[in-house]
Amino acid sequence: AACVLLELWGEYSVSRRYTTDYVYTTSFGWAIICVDLMLLFMYSTKLWQTHAAERDNSDGAFYRRWGIIYGAWFLALPFITVLSQLVLAPYVWYLFSLGVLGLVDIVVYSALVIALWPGNTKTYFKLSSVFEVAEDLLERCEAQRRLPAAAV
């Protein structure tokens, strides 16, 4: 009887290594998806508040365009998880989700690089004004403290 129990225990402990379960369909995976959706909700509410506050300025187009693009980034994981569960075979879930999520990340990071590129004159980001304010503040400093000669 002890041999049978030991054999069953060994078989069960190894059986979890070769499962076709998808990581996002486990309880921890659903928790990650719920956190992703909560982050989307927080992002959307802050975006809506900011858009309402900036509606009078010319920044409304910025929040409408980039807010939707980056909001879709939060939906990538839940969408891919549900799509893979409904349409795809279990052995394809991991490769499909990894490929599509990687592609989405590349697109979003590329959009950030293009939008924030220093030579981009058609950008919505107003970074030059931020740098000018910081430069003015640094120039207005009364006296810069010097290190004692012994410290150098």
pLDDT tens for each residue of 29-74: 888 889 999 999 999 999 888 888 877 776 777 777 778 888 888 8
Work out the end-to-end distance of the chain between its first and last CA atoms, rounded to an integer number of angstroms. Answer: 78
CA dihedral 80, 83, 88, 92 (to 10 degrees): 10
Helix (H, G, I), strand (E, B) or coil at 54: coil
Q: Are 71 and 33 in contact (CB under 8 A)?
A: no
pLDDT of residue 150: 56
Quick one: average pLDDT of 120-132? 59
